[in-house]
Amino acid sequence: MKRERLDKVLANMGKGTRKEVKQLIKQRLVTVDGKLATDPGMHVIPEQQVIEIDGKPLLFKRWIYVMLNKPDGVISATEDSFHETVVDLLPEEWAHKVHPVGRLDIDTEGLLLLTNDGQLSHSLLSPKKKVDKEYYARIDGRVTEEHVAAFSQGVTLDDEYVTLPAKLEILESGDTSEIHVTIMEGKFHQVKRMFAAFGLRVMYLKRLRMGSLLLDDSLELGDYRELTEEELLALRNGSDAPDA
Protein backbone atom coordinates (compact mmCIF):
# COMPACT_ATOMS: atom_id res chain seq x y z
CA MET A 1 0.00 0.00 0.00
CA LYS A 2 1.40 3.37 -0.89
CA ARG A 3 2.07 6.32 1.36
CA GLU A 4 0.36 9.61 0.58
CA ARG A 5 0.46 13.15 1.92
CA LEU A 6 -2.00 13.66 4.76
CA ASP A 7 -3.48 16.83 3.26
CA LYS A 8 -4.07 15.05 -0.06
CA VAL A 9 -5.78 12.11 1.66
CA LEU A 10 -8.10 14.41 3.61
CA ALA A 11 -8.93 16.49 0.55
CA ASN A 12 -9.69 13.36 -1.46
CA MET A 13 -12.05 12.24 1.30
CA GLY A 14 -14.07 15.43 0.87
CA LYS A 15 -12.86 17.19 4.01
CA GLY A 16 -12.12 20.42 2.17
CA THR A 17 -9.68 21.85 -0.30
CA ARG A 18 -5.97 21.32 0.31
CA LYS A 19 -5.87 24.85 1.80
CA GLU A 20 -8.86 24.17 4.08
CA VAL A 21 -7.40 20.85 5.20
CA LYS A 22 -4.12 22.56 6.11
CA GLN A 23 -6.12 24.92 8.32
CA LEU A 24 -7.69 21.93 10.13
CA ILE A 25 -4.21 20.60 10.80
CA LYS A 26 -2.98 24.03 11.92
CA GLN A 27 -5.93 24.22 14.32
CA ARG A 28 -4.68 20.96 15.91
CA LEU A 29 -7.84 19.06 14.99
CA VAL A 30 -6.23 16.16 13.10
CA THR A 31 -4.63 13.09 14.67
CA VAL A 32 -2.98 10.04 13.12
CA ASP A 33 -2.92 6.88 15.23
CA GLY A 34 -3.78 8.99 18.25
CA LYS A 35 -0.94 11.47 17.78
CA LEU A 36 -1.43 15.10 16.84
CA ALA A 37 -0.63 15.78 13.18
CA THR A 38 1.25 19.06 12.70
CA ASP A 39 2.67 18.61 9.20
CA PRO A 40 0.22 18.60 6.23
CA GLY A 41 2.93 16.90 4.17
CA MET A 42 3.42 13.95 6.51
CA HIS A 43 3.00 10.63 4.75
CA VAL A 44 0.36 8.16 5.86
CA ILE A 45 -1.01 4.82 4.74
CA PRO A 46 -4.75 5.59 4.95
CA GLU A 47 -5.84 1.94 4.67
CA GLN A 48 -3.83 1.01 7.76
CA GLN A 49 -3.71 4.09 9.98
CA VAL A 50 -6.45 5.69 12.08
CA ILE A 51 -7.03 9.30 11.02
CA GLU A 52 -9.35 11.45 13.09
CA ILE A 53 -10.71 14.98 12.74
CA ASP A 54 -11.87 16.56 15.99
CA GLY A 55 -12.02 13.12 17.57
CA LYS A 56 -14.09 11.53 14.79
CA PRO A 57 -12.42 8.65 12.90
CA LEU A 58 -12.52 8.75 9.11
CA LEU A 59 -13.43 5.69 7.07
CA PHE A 60 -11.06 5.64 4.12
CA LYS A 61 -12.13 4.07 0.83
CA ARG A 62 -9.76 4.22 -2.10
CA TRP A 63 -12.28 2.91 -4.63
CA ILE A 64 -15.92 3.90 -4.84
CA TYR A 65 -18.57 2.06 -6.88
CA VAL A 66 -22.07 3.55 -6.87
CA MET A 67 -25.24 2.41 -8.63
CA LEU A 68 -27.58 5.31 -9.41
CA ASN A 69 -31.14 5.18 -10.72
CA LYS A 70 -30.78 8.25 -12.92
CA PRO A 71 -33.86 10.46 -13.23
CA ASP A 72 -35.03 12.44 -16.24
CA GLY A 73 -33.61 15.95 -16.51
CA VAL A 74 -30.21 15.16 -14.98
CA ILE A 75 -27.14 14.99 -17.19
CA SER A 76 -24.40 12.35 -17.10
CA ALA A 77 -21.51 14.66 -16.29
CA THR A 78 -19.44 15.81 -13.32
CA GLU A 79 -20.22 19.51 -13.81
CA ASP A 80 -22.50 21.71 -15.89
CA SER A 81 -23.45 25.38 -15.82
CA PHE A 82 -27.12 24.87 -16.67
CA HIS A 83 -28.31 21.45 -15.52
CA GLU A 84 -28.17 19.29 -12.44
CA THR A 85 -25.59 16.53 -12.88
CA VAL A 86 -25.55 12.94 -11.67
CA VAL A 87 -22.79 13.70 -9.16
CA ASP A 88 -24.97 16.43 -7.64
CA LEU A 89 -27.23 13.61 -6.43
CA LEU A 90 -24.44 11.97 -4.41
CA PRO A 91 -22.97 12.75 -0.97
CA GLU A 92 -20.20 15.34 -0.98
CA GLU A 93 -17.52 12.81 -0.03
CA TRP A 94 -18.26 10.83 -3.21
CA ALA A 95 -19.35 13.56 -5.59
CA HIS A 96 -15.96 15.18 -6.08
CA LYS A 97 -14.21 11.84 -6.72
CA VAL A 98 -16.36 9.76 -9.07
CA HIS A 99 -17.29 9.97 -12.74
CA PRO A 100 -20.14 8.33 -14.66
CA VAL A 101 -19.24 5.21 -16.63
CA GLY A 102 -20.65 6.13 -20.02
CA ARG A 103 -23.57 8.46 -20.56
CA LEU A 104 -27.34 8.40 -20.50
CA ASP A 105 -29.24 11.09 -22.40
CA ILE A 106 -30.73 13.83 -20.26
CA ASP A 107 -34.23 12.37 -20.72
CA THR A 108 -33.16 8.72 -20.24
CA GLU A 109 -33.65 7.10 -16.85
CA GLY A 110 -32.17 4.07 -15.17
CA LEU A 111 -28.93 2.35 -14.34
CA LEU A 112 -25.77 4.44 -14.21
CA LEU A 113 -22.53 3.33 -12.59
CA LEU A 114 -20.28 5.97 -11.04
CA THR A 115 -16.75 5.20 -9.86
CA ASN A 116 -13.23 6.52 -9.42
CA ASP A 117 -11.81 3.23 -10.74
CA GLY A 118 -10.54 4.30 -14.15
CA GLN A 119 -9.38 0.83 -15.11
CA LEU A 120 -12.81 -0.74 -14.58
CA SER A 121 -14.48 2.20 -16.34
CA HIS A 122 -12.21 1.77 -19.36
CA SER A 123 -12.87 -1.97 -19.50
CA LEU A 124 -16.64 -1.52 -19.40
CA LEU A 125 -16.59 1.13 -22.13
CA SER A 126 -14.01 -0.46 -24.44
CA PRO A 127 -15.64 -1.33 -27.80
CA LYS A 128 -13.48 -4.47 -27.91
CA LYS A 129 -15.17 -5.85 -24.79
CA LYS A 130 -18.69 -5.56 -26.25
CA VAL A 131 -20.28 -5.11 -22.81
CA ASP A 132 -24.01 -5.27 -23.47
CA LYS A 133 -26.58 -2.76 -22.24
CA GLU A 134 -30.27 -3.59 -21.90
CA TYR A 135 -33.04 -0.99 -22.09
CA TYR A 136 -36.79 -0.82 -21.67
CA ALA A 137 -38.55 1.58 -24.05
CA ARG A 138 -41.98 2.79 -25.05
CA ILE A 139 -42.21 3.44 -28.77
CA ASP A 140 -44.60 5.71 -30.64
CA GLY A 141 -45.66 3.25 -33.35
CA ARG A 142 -46.02 -0.47 -33.98
CA VAL A 143 -42.90 -2.57 -33.50
CA THR A 144 -43.04 -5.82 -35.48
CA GLU A 145 -41.06 -9.02 -36.02
CA GLU A 146 -39.59 -7.35 -39.11
CA HIS A 147 -37.93 -4.85 -36.80
CA VAL A 148 -36.68 -7.70 -34.59
CA ALA A 149 -35.04 -9.30 -37.62
CA ALA A 150 -33.56 -5.99 -38.79
CA PHE A 151 -32.07 -5.23 -35.37
CA SER A 152 -30.49 -8.68 -35.28
CA GLN A 153 -28.60 -7.84 -38.49
CA GLY A 154 -27.51 -4.34 -37.43
CA VAL A 155 -29.23 -1.05 -38.27
CA THR A 156 -27.96 1.66 -40.61
CA LEU A 157 -28.13 4.98 -38.76
CA ASP A 158 -28.62 8.46 -40.20
CA ASP A 159 -24.85 8.92 -40.63
CA GLU A 160 -24.56 5.61 -42.52
CA TYR A 161 -22.96 3.87 -39.56
CA VAL A 162 -24.12 0.24 -39.28
CA THR A 163 -24.59 -0.86 -35.69
CA LEU A 164 -23.58 -4.20 -34.30
CA PRO A 165 -26.40 -6.76 -34.13
CA ALA A 166 -28.88 -5.97 -31.35
CA LYS A 167 -31.48 -8.07 -29.58
CA LEU A 168 -35.00 -6.62 -29.77
CA GLU A 169 -37.80 -8.19 -27.72
CA ILE A 170 -41.41 -7.04 -28.17
CA LEU A 171 -43.36 -6.85 -24.92
CA GLU A 172 -46.43 -5.22 -26.46
CA SER A 173 -47.11 -4.12 -30.02
CA GLY A 174 -49.65 -1.48 -30.95
CA ASP A 175 -50.02 2.22 -31.61
CA THR A 176 -47.67 2.46 -28.64
CA SER A 177 -45.27 -0.46 -28.30
CA GLU A 178 -43.22 -1.64 -25.35
CA ILE A 179 -39.88 -3.34 -25.91
CA HIS A 180 -36.60 -4.49 -24.45
CA VAL A 181 -33.51 -3.87 -26.55
CA THR A 182 -29.95 -4.98 -25.87
CA ILE A 183 -27.04 -3.28 -27.62
CA MET A 184 -23.27 -3.78 -27.43
CA GLU A 185 -22.25 -0.21 -28.26
CA GLY A 186 -22.83 3.27 -26.93
CA LYS A 187 -23.13 5.53 -29.94
CA PHE A 188 -24.69 8.96 -29.50
CA HIS A 189 -28.49 8.57 -29.03
CA GLN A 190 -28.07 5.05 -30.40
CA VAL A 191 -31.35 3.43 -29.36
CA LYS A 192 -33.37 6.46 -30.46
CA ARG A 193 -31.56 6.59 -33.80
CA MET A 194 -32.03 2.87 -34.40
CA PHE A 195 -35.80 3.22 -34.10
CA ALA A 196 -35.78 6.50 -36.03
CA ALA A 197 -34.27 4.57 -38.95
CA PHE A 198 -37.68 2.88 -39.26
CA GLY A 199 -39.74 6.02 -38.68
CA LEU A 200 -40.43 5.17 -35.02
CA ARG A 201 -39.98 7.52 -32.07
CA VAL A 202 -38.75 6.54 -28.62
CA MET A 203 -41.11 8.11 -26.08
CA TYR A 204 -39.47 6.76 -22.94
CA LEU A 205 -36.14 5.03 -22.35
CA LYS A 206 -34.73 3.36 -19.25
CA ARG A 207 -31.51 1.37 -18.87
CA LEU A 208 -32.00 -1.84 -16.93
CA ARG A 209 -28.63 -3.57 -17.16
CA MET A 210 -24.97 -3.03 -18.00
CA GLY A 211 -23.05 -6.28 -18.39
CA SER A 212 -23.83 -8.33 -15.29
CA LEU A 213 -25.01 -5.31 -13.30
CA LEU A 214 -28.79 -5.09 -12.92
CA LEU A 215 -30.63 -1.98 -11.79
CA ASP A 216 -31.85 -2.49 -8.22
CA ASP A 217 -35.61 -2.13 -8.58
CA SER A 218 -35.87 -0.97 -4.96
CA LEU A 219 -34.04 2.26 -5.88
CA GLU A 220 -36.37 5.18 -6.51
CA LEU A 221 -35.42 7.69 -9.21
CA GLY A 222 -32.46 9.70 -7.93
CA ASP A 223 -31.56 7.10 -5.29
CA TYR A 224 -28.22 5.33 -5.17
CA ARG A 225 -26.27 2.69 -3.27
CA GLU A 226 -22.81 1.17 -3.28
CA LEU A 227 -22.29 -2.03 -5.24
CA THR A 228 -22.14 -5.26 -3.30
CA GLU A 229 -18.97 -7.33 -3.36
CA GLU A 230 -20.79 -9.92 -5.49
CA GLU A 231 -21.90 -7.31 -8.03
CA LEU A 232 -18.42 -5.84 -8.26
CA LEU A 233 -16.75 -9.23 -8.68
CA ALA A 234 -19.19 -10.23 -11.44
CA LEU A 235 -18.71 -6.90 -13.19
CA ARG A 236 -14.92 -7.22 -13.04
CA ASN A 237 -14.99 -10.81 -14.27
CA GLY A 238 -17.18 -9.84 -17.20
CA SER A 239 -15.13 -6.81 -18.20
CA ASP A 240 -11.88 -8.79 -17.90
CA ALA A 241 -13.03 -11.32 -20.49
CA PRO A 242 -10.71 -11.68 -23.49
CA ASP A 243 -11.23 -9.18 -26.29
CA ALA A 244 -13.67 -10.47 -28.93
Measured distance CA(227)–CA(136) in Å, rounded: 22
Set 72, 80, 88, 105: catalytic member: 105
Residue 146 CB: number of other CB atoms within 10 A? Answer: 9
Measured distance CA(29)–CA(35) in Å, rounded: 11
Residue 36 CB: number of other CB atoms within 10 A? Answer: 10
Contacts 24+ apart (CB under 8 A), 227-231: 227/65, 227/66, 227/67, 227/113, 231/67
CA-based nearest residue to 114, from 137, 85, 143, 135: 85
Strand partners for 140 = 176, 201
Which residues, other chains included, contact 168 with Cβ-Cβ below 8 Å and sequence gap of 6+?
Answer: 143, 147, 148, 151, 152, 179, 180, 181
Residue 126 CB: number of other CB atoms within 10 A? Answer: 12
Among this protein's residues, is 105 annotated catalytic? yes
Query: Which residues are designated catalytic?
Result: 105
